[in-house]
């Protein structure tokens, strides 16, 4: 009896459910037809970004954009950066899986890989009709252009690496900030004493920014044979010996990363280091007037090289909303919006009008950045560059600094990586 | 008619357990078997993530490359040393901690909860914490050793090839010993007090009680914990990745880390898959022993 009852009740339940479902299915087309026009117009643009400070949010910019562009909804997704590895691993995986955002913040060292995948949408046609295009300096456009001549990247912000130095220690030693490699070596040797090291060198990932000014500036190139020319080998030997022979690097240099070089400099353990304007406020907070900056030193022949730290937005070719995505990324690169954006990232605006009245960093660091633009360069637009930066450079640099391989073997490894 | 019904009922009775198992089997196949087969298939190709349209089949090419790859052999050697030292010391420390925690003292409850803390912390936090403790400029370890007069100037623990590997091992031992402590402690509490009383009557010393009563009684537990931990430690790369990224040079490369770097930094998924497959094959030996033990215990 009980069992029968249960079955009966269950049966009723199922029947009732079917009735309701049927009614729902019949009602659905009518329910959908009324609000449909508004929904059909609404376009959602998914955008990936990364800020170093997770407390910063682009919500205000999104709200402003959505107000100015009714019908476009921006879904801004914060993706962990993880030194670049986390971000790009997710991006490439999403692209291969067909679930990529419409647009995303991207850097030049991955442009070649993305182009090779056919993942990027050329922006040239859309840029023609964009009135704020000329507010971004021509050399920035130039640096961001792909090797096939197309413009896939819309510049968003930039930094240029320069030399931080301890004004007070230089004054005490009676020396001027270095302009040439010779000056640099003299200063580094003079300032290496009493537990202070002349140059806080970054040997961990990202440290190619410290190696570039001396070795690429000293004559090495990424062309075939460019790493193993006499000039290149000599420049690299000189640089490695700063650590192994002259001992002006702290012993921790082989694995020091961003945090270590900045904290070592702030703590007074190093007298010089190389980084960009993004760390200037932190430096001033710790050291006040004792810290200043100049462009990185130049080679004996007057050549120089420093890293141009780029950040752009790109649109993916698989996006169904390219037009709306372009409106969003061009909005972010327009004068006051771009200035507001750089407020979150601590970098420099790409717009000339925004730069005119810059308040985010002390003047001397902005000047050092601007003076460095003349020698600013980027690593080659090659699918092999990203792996060079992430593993090949650090591993070989570390082994050379530790005497496991010779400086020349290190350069041969680079040559082999790029040219087989 | 009757025989037909019986046959139907019999086959239904035969199928029922499999029907119940089916959902679990389907899920296992989807999340474990399929990815393993895909990895094996990938290892036979030159699959580079940013060249998704050009994935040539190269047979055993990746394995041949591995045979001639110096870094593979370095990483493999490190992996064996890594497992032996980490698991060995975690066990000794865990056993010691468990024996202490099995004594009665007034703050035993607190001590037992505190000992689990390293185990409960996320690996990335542990990696960062130890990185800063080892730091050359501001690390507490250098500071402490200098104050104690044991060293005259700071040591770059994570930047020297002779110390980096062991420095990371110490961090991992610290992270994992609570697992042994908790498992062994649970084992200790199953030992009947009569055994100790009998040993005492026979005049056994404390050490003899440990060797002849305690250890034999928990040998099963210890063996299972060692096998399980070996599998986990062999696979773990998060703490190394955070602390040194495999450097300086190849000083802290282990096999799973090398596979990870090849796949996610080099984007060479084919070669990364081949490396991972070799690690899996090596681990299968341990897994085989472990599963056999567990099956035997269930059989009892």
Model confidence at A32: pLDDT above 70: no
B80 within domain boundaries: yes
Report CA torsion sign: A216, A221, A222, A225: negative
A50 within domain boundaries: yes
- B139 contacts in chain A (CB < 8 Å): none
A111 within domain boundaries: yes
Query: DSSP label at B195?
Result: H
Residues A276 and A319 in one domain: no
A11 within domain boundaries: no
Model confidence at A213: pLDDT above 80: yes
H-state helical runs in B148-218: 164-188, 193-201, 206-209, 215-217
**Tally of structural domains, chain A:** 2
B4 within domain boundaries: no
Query: DSSP label at A277?
Result: G
**β-strand pairing of A103-106 with A72-78:** unpaired
Strands (E), chain B: none
* Residues with Cβ within 8 Å of residue A97, at least 6 apart in sequence: none
pLDDT, position B153: 85
ipTM of the complex: 0.72
- A269 contacts in chain B (CB < 8 Å): 137
pLDDT tens, residue by residue, B77-110 = 999 999 999 999 999 999 999 999 988 888 888 9
B27 within domain boundaries: no
CATH number, domain with residue B201:
1.10.3720.10
Confidence of residue A122 (pLDDT cuts 50, 70, 90): very high
Residues A232 and A279 in one domain: yes
Give, rounded to a whole angstrom, the gap between the first and last alpha carbons of chain A.
83
Between chains, do A402 and B264 touch, taking CB under 8 Å as contact?
no
A381-408 CB burial, b ≥16 within 10 A, e <16 = bbbbbbbbbbbbbbbbbbbbbbebbebb
* Residues with Cβ within 8 Å of residue A87, at least 6 apart in sequence: A48, A50, A79, A80, A81
pLDDT tens, residue by residue, B7-19 = 778 888 888 888 9
Which contiguous run of DSSP H or E holds residue A190?
helix A181-191
To the nearest whole Å, the CA of A339 is away from the closest chain B CA by: 33
Instruction: At A145, list the tokens.
Output: 């252009």
In which domain, by residue range, is B245 found? 72-299
Q: Which of A252, A260, A265, A416 to mutate to test the interface with B (most CBs of B within 10 A)?
A: A252
Our CA angle for A110, A115, A121, nearest 5°, is 110
A168 within domain boundaries: yes
Residues A255 and A194 in one domain: yes
Residues A198 and A302 in one domain: yes
Instruction: At A91, list the tokens.
Output: 């991006």
Instruction: At B46, list the tokens.
Output: 């030159």
B188 within domain boundaries: yes
Of B138, B247, B250, the CB nearest to A263: B138
Between chains, do B267 and A92 touch, taking CB under 8 Å as contact?
yes
* Angstrom distance (rounded) from CA B252 to CA B243: 10
Model confidence at A38: pLDDT above 60: no
Instruction: At A211, list the tokens.
Output: 């190696």
* Angstrom distance (rounded) from CA A141 to CA A374: 15
In chain A, helix, strand, coil percent, each to 5?
A: 55, 15, 30
Of A205, A255, A267, the CB nearest to B159: A255
Task: Tell me how many residue pairs between chain A and chain B have CB atoms under 8 A apart.
Answer: 98
pLDDT, position A14: 45
Q: Which of B35, B48, B50 to mutate to test the interface with A (most CBs of A within 10 A)?
A: B50
To the nearest whole Å, the CA of B42 is away from the closest chain A CA by: 15
Residues A247 and A395 in one domain: yes
Between chains, do B156 and A251 touch, taking CB under 8 Å as contact?
yes
pLDDT, position A41: 66
Model confidence at A2: pLDDT above 50: no
* Angstrom distance (rounded) from CA A87 to CA A50: 8
Other beta carbons within 10 angstroms of residue B26's beta carbon come to 10
* Angstrom distance (rounded) from CA A22 to CA B295: 51
**Tally of structural domains, chain B:** 1
Q: What is the mean predicted confidence (pLDDT) over A33-51?
A: 68
Instruction: At B56, list the tokens.
Output: 């040539």
CATH number, domain with residue A360:
3.40.190.10
Residues A302 and A185 in one domain: yes
A33 within domain boundaries: no
Between chains, do A267 and B266 touch, taking CB under 8 Å as contact?
no
Q: A238-242, A332-336, B218-222 — which is least confidently predicted? A: B218-222
Model confidence at A205: pLDDT above 90: no
In which domain, by residue range, is A393 found? 162-307+377-419
B32 within domain boundaries: no
Model confidence at B217: pLDDT above 60: yes
* Angstrom distance (rounded) from CA B158 to CA B251: 10
* Angstrom distance (rounded) from CA A136 to CA A27: 54
Instruction: At B83, list the tokens.
Output: 């497992």
Instruction: At A222, list the tokens.
Output: 């990424």
A331 within domain boundaries: yes
Model confidence at A365: pLDDT above 90: yes
Residue where one domain finishes, among candidates A344, A367, A390: A367
Model confidence at A217: pLDDT above 80: yes
Q: CB-hemisphere CA count at 13 Å for B204?
A: 17
Residues A86 and A107 in one domain: yes
A320 within domain boundaries: yes
List residues in chain A touching B: CB distance below 8 A: 85, 89, 92-93, 96, 113-114, 116-118, 195, 203-205, 250-256, 260, 263-264, 267, 269, 383, 386-387, 390-391, 394-395, 398-399, 401-402, 404
A233-266 CB burial, b ≥16 within 10 A, e <16 = bbbbbbbbebbeeeebbbbbbbbbbbebbbbbbb
Highest mean pLDDT among A21-25, A45-49, A299-303: A45-49
B50 within domain boundaries: no
pLDDT tens, residue by residue, B127-143 = 999 999 999 877 899 99
Confidence of residue A12 (pLDDT cuts 50, 70, 90): very low
A8 within domain boundaries: no
B172 within domain boundaries: yes
B47 within domain boundaries: no
Omega cis (within 30) before A246:
no
* Angstrom distance (rounded) from CA B127 to CA B118: 11
């Amino acid at each position: 009896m009980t069992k029968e009852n249960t079955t009966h009740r269950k049966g009723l339940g199922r029947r009732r459910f079917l009735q309701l479902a049927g009614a729902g299915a019949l009602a659905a087309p009518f329910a959908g037809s009324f609000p449909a026009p508004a929904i059909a117009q609404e376009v959602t643009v998914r955008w990936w970004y990364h800020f170093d400070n997770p407390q910063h949010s682009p919500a205000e910019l999104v709200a402003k954009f959505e107000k100015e562009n009714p019908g476009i909804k921006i879904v801004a997704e914060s993706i962990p950066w993880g030194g670049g590895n986390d971000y790009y691993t997710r991006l490439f995986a999403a692209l291969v899986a067909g679930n990529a955002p419409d647009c995303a913040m991207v850097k030049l060292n991955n442009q070649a890989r993305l182009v090779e995948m056919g993942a990027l949408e050329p922006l040239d046609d859309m840029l023609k009709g964009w009135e704020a295009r000329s507010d971004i300096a021509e050399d920035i456009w130039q640096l961001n252009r792909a090797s096939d001549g197309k413009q896939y990247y819309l510049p968003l912000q930039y930094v240029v690496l320069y030399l931080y130095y301890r004004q007070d220690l230089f004054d005490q030693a009676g020396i001027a900030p270095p302009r040439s490699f010779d000056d640099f070596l003299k200063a580094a040797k003079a300032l290496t004493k009493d537990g202070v090291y002349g140059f806080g060198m970054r040997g961990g990932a990202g440290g190619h920014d410290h190696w570039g000014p001396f070795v690429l500036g000293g004559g090495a190139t990424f062309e075939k044979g460019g790493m193993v020319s006499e000039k290149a080998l000599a420049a690299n030997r000189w640089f490695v010996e700063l650590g192994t022979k002259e001992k002006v690097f702290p012993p921790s240099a082989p694995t020091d990363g961003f945090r270590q070089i900045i904290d070592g400099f702030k703590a007074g353990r190093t007298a010089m280091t190389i980084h960009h304007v993004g760390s200037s406020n932190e430096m001033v907070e710790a050291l006040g007037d004792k810290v200043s900056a100049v462009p990185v030193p130049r080679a004996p022949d007057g050549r120089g090289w420093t890293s141009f730290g780029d950040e752009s937005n790109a649109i993916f070719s698989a996006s169904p909303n390219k037009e709306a995505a372009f409106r969003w990324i061009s909005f972010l690169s327009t004068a006051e919006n771009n200035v507001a954006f750089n407020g979150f990232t601590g970098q420099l605006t790409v717009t000339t009008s925004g730069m005119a009245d810059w308040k985010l960093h002390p003047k001397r660091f902005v000047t050092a950045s601007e003076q460095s633009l003349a020698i600013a360069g980027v690593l080659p637009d090659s699918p092999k560059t990203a792996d060079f930066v992430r593993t090949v450079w650090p591993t070989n640099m570390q082994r050379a600094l530790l005497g496991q391989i010779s400086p020349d073997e290190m350069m041969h490894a680079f040559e082999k990586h790029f040219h087989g | 008619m009757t025989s037909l019904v019986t046959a139907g009922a019999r086959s239904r009775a035969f199928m029922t357990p499999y029907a119940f198992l089916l959902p679990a089997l389907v899920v296992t196949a989807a999340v474990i078997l399929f990815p393993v087969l895909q990895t094996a298939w990938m290892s036979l190709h030159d699959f580079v993530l940013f060249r998704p349209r050009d994935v040539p089949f190269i047979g055993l090419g990746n394995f041949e490359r591995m045979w001639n790859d110096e870094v593979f052999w370095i990483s493999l050697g490190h992996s064996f040393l890594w497992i032996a030292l980490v698991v060995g010391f975690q066990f000794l420390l865990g056993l010691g901690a468990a024996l202490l925690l099995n004594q009665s003292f007034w703050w035993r409850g607190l001590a037992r909860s505190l000992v689990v803390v390293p185990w409960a912390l996320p690996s990335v936090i542990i990696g960062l914490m130890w990185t800063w403790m080892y730091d050359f400029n501001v690390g507490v370890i250098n500071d402490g050793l200098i104050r104690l007069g044991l060293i005259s100037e700071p040591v770059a623990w994570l930047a020297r090839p002779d110390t980096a590997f062991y420095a990371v091992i110490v961090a991992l031992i610290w992270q994992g010993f609570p697992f042994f402590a908790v498992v062994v402690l649970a084992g200790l509490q199953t030992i009947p007090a009569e055994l100790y009383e009998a040993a005492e009557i026979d005049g056994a010393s404390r050490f003899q009680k440990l060797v002849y009563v305690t250890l034999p009684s928990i040998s099963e537990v210890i063996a299972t914990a060692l096998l399980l931990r070996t599998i986990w430690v062999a696979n773990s790369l998060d703490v190394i990745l955070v602390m040194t990224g495999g450097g300086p040079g190849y000083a802290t490369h282990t096999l799973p880390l090398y596979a990870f770097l090849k796949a996610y930094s080099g984007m060479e998924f084919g070669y990364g898959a081949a490396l991972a497959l070799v690690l899996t094959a090596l681990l299968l030996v341990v897994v085989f022993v472990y599963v056999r033990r567990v099956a035997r215990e269930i059989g009892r």
